[in-house]
Amino acid sequence: MKRLLINNKAKKDLFVKSGNRCAFPDCQQELLVNGNTFLGEIVHIESYSPAGPRYNPTNSVNEIFNISNLILLCPNHHRIIDASPEIYTIEKLKRFKEGNESIFENKPRKFELKKAEINFELNHQELLDLWQENELNDDEEFWQKLFCSNPAILSHILINPIIKVDDKSYLGGKSFDNKGGNIIDFLFKQKQNSDAILIEIKTPKTRLLGQKYRGNSYSISSDISGSIVQLLNYKNEFQRNYYALTDGSENGLKSFHPKCLLIAGSREMEEMDDNQNRSFGIFRNSLKDVEIITYDELYEKIKDVYDIFKKNDNNV
């Protein structure tokens, strides 16, 4: 049977609203196991196929794929409800869905993955799954850890090969009482010429745009403009203290023209329209010294690489 697609936004909303648990009363089976295996099944309450259970011919395609018509179940309960549509009616399933969602309505989303669990290099699929699962995770430390234990992620952004020098690097700027120093999230260097790359990470939830300004123009969020200033400060400090910082160290780090990279926000989650996209694009291209990459863009890059590898595997 041809499988119609449920859009990512609807899926994401459904997972969040249901707390990643089976909606069948008292089942509460966790559908994400060990942070990387998803057991859940997305079920249409009213089927889209005349051959399916609970088919309603009056539904439009939009209604069928709307999140209000989707329920998240464990595989067992999916089988049970489909086998007895006369018992598990449309109305009953809607009540199951509402009942389950009301449990999680007021609870903050729980992130299943412990930080310790990402302290190893993940394979591509694990990385993609974990990433998707945490798209709404606003904990900077989580992302810090993920990038830290999987430095290859960052090589997807930069064309030239890079080498990790350090994370949480001190770049100078401390006063005599040891306060107020500048700590950059990641310090890399270009493989070719050892020039430094300063990388600062925020989270996917960091807002990219601010208010509408005039006409079709949007301002940039204060988080983004603040992060850019912060990065440029780091760069200044790094250049100013370069000799003191690298004196006696064997990392071979250079400071010809350090590159600054900011990873923050998600255009997809911010649901930018054309004007917003254009404003963000124009702003980003106008920056000389800082490159901004969003989490959704980075995810796509990793996925592209993964798809290429997968294709190659299939050819073997």
Among 15, 17, 22, 113, binds Zn ion (CB under 5 A): 22
Taking CB under 5 A as the rule, does residue 16 contact Zn ion?
A: no
* CB of 22 or CB of 290, closer to Zn ion: 22
* Least CB distance to Zn ion at residue 45 (A): 15
Size of the site for Zn ion (CB under 5 A): 6
Taking alpha carbons only, the member of 110, 146, 89, 82 closest to residue 15 is: 110
Q: Give every CB contact of residue 169 below 8 A, 6+ residues apart in sequence.
A: 183, 184, 186, 187
* CB of 29 or CB of 144, closer to Zn ion: 29
Taking CB under 5 A as the rule, does residue 14 contact Zn ion?
A: no
Taking CB under 5 A as the rule, does residue 39 contact Zn ion?
A: no
Distance (Å) of CA 59 to CA 1, 27, 63, 68, 145: 19, 29, 6, 13, 45
* Least CB distance to Zn ion at residue 262 (A): 42
Q: Give every CB contact of residue 193 below 8 A, 6+ residues apart in sequence.
A: 254, 256
Among 16, 27, 67, 158, binds Zn ion (CB under 5 A): 27
* Least CB distance to Zn ion at residue 31 (A): 9
Structural tokens at position 246? 């690298």
* Least CB distance to Zn ion at residue 113 (A): 22
Beta bridge pairs of residue 196: 189
Asked if residue 78 lies in contact with residue 43, where contact means CB atoms within 8 angstroms, the answer is yes
Q: Where are the alpha helices (DSSP H) in the chain?
A: 8-17, 61-65, 75-83, 90-104, 124-133, 140-149, 152-155, 222-240, 242-246, 274-286, 295-315
Q: If you search the block for the tokens 């005349």, which residue do you land on?
A: 50
Among 17, 21, 24, 228, binds Zn ion (CB under 5 A): 24
Report the Cα–Cα distance between both ends of the chain, in Å, rounded.
Answer: 28
Taking CB under 5 A as the rule, does residue 29 contact Zn ion?
A: yes
Taking CB under 5 A as the rule, does residue 15 contact Zn ion?
A: no
The interface with Zn ion within residues 53-82 (CB under 5 A) comprises 74, 77
* CB of 15 or CB of 218, closer to Zn ion: 15
* CB of 22 or CB of 146, closer to Zn ion: 22
Cα–Cα dist 59/42, whole Å: 18
* Least CB distance to Zn ion at residue 130 (A): 24
Stretch that binds Zn ion, among 14-22, 123-131, 241-249, 291-299 (CB under 5 A): 14-22
* Least CB distance to Zn ion at residue 40 (A): 9
* CB of 29 or CB of 59, closer to Zn ion: 29
Taking alpha carbons only, the member of 80, 88, 64 closest to residue 4 is: 64
* Least CB distance to Zn ion at residue 88 (A): 12
Residues in contact with Zn ion by CB under 5 A are 22, 24, 27, 29, 74, 77
